[in-house]
Amino acid sequence: MRESEFRTGVIKPIECFKEGWEAIKPHYWLLFAITLIGMLIGGFSFYILLGAMVCGIFVCYFRALDGQEVAIEDLFKGFEYFWPGLILTAIIVLPGFILFGLMYAPLVIATMGGSVLSQDEFLALLSGFIVVELIFAIIMACLHTLVMFSYPLIVDRKLSAFRAIIVSSKAVLKNLKGVAGLWVASFVAAIAGYLALCVGVYFVIPVIFAANIAAYRKVFPRLEVQMDGPPPPDSYEAA
């Protein structure tokens, strides 16, 4: 199997959640801490280290999924993928900042200019914000869905940021039904976490990470693993 080959029609959302949970259950609290530390470091570094931290988080989850021991220092193995992680993070994050700036620029300009908006002008501006925010949310959701396998591909198959985006996008589009089901299941899990006094969502994040890694491994089997009964030839695609 080549680095860019992937399987199709293999994502079953509930099965992914079950497999992911079984894999991380012995390491749950350690992975919870690793995920929290990684995200905090990424945030406090103004996203400069976010790519490396996300790659390091995936290193840890891959080890758990493969039945290996997990250690907190595995998080910092993400620095081995610093540049592709940084480039990928910039590609994902910058469009959001640009769209956010364009969306609120009129309000900032009007405020700095001392303009006083009438009620009709304010309502028109507010309606425009709502429409733009909705469009923005849809665009970002689509972008994040297409690149959902990009960080794992950088770690697992040592792809460059741009190559990982291309392969991830093709794999997502070829497995759209399963990916959509996984997204819905993740959304329901996140909402359940929010209902648990809001803080519960933080405890659900490792499970969502694990489910996504389980889905990734179904689409992108380990390169060195030889399967006893290979799937039909048309179940593989090459990006």
Quote the pLDDT of residue 228.
Answer: 46
Quote the pLDDT of residue 237.
Answer: 75
| H or E element in which residue 1 lies | none
Residues of the chain with pLDDT under 50: 226-228
Quote the pLDDT of residue 232.
Answer: 59
Cα pseudo-dihedral 114, 117, 123, 127, rounded to 10:
-40
Using CB atoms within 10 A of its CB, is residue 110 exposed (0-12), middle (13-18) or buried (19+)? Answer: middle
- Amino acid letter, residue 80: E
| H or E element in which residue 151 lies | helix 150-157
Quote the pLDDT of residue 44.
Answer: 96
Contacts of 60 (CB under 8 A, 6+ apart): 31, 34, 70, 74, 75
Q: Give the Å distances, CA to CA, from 201 to 34, 193, 205.
A: 16, 4, 6
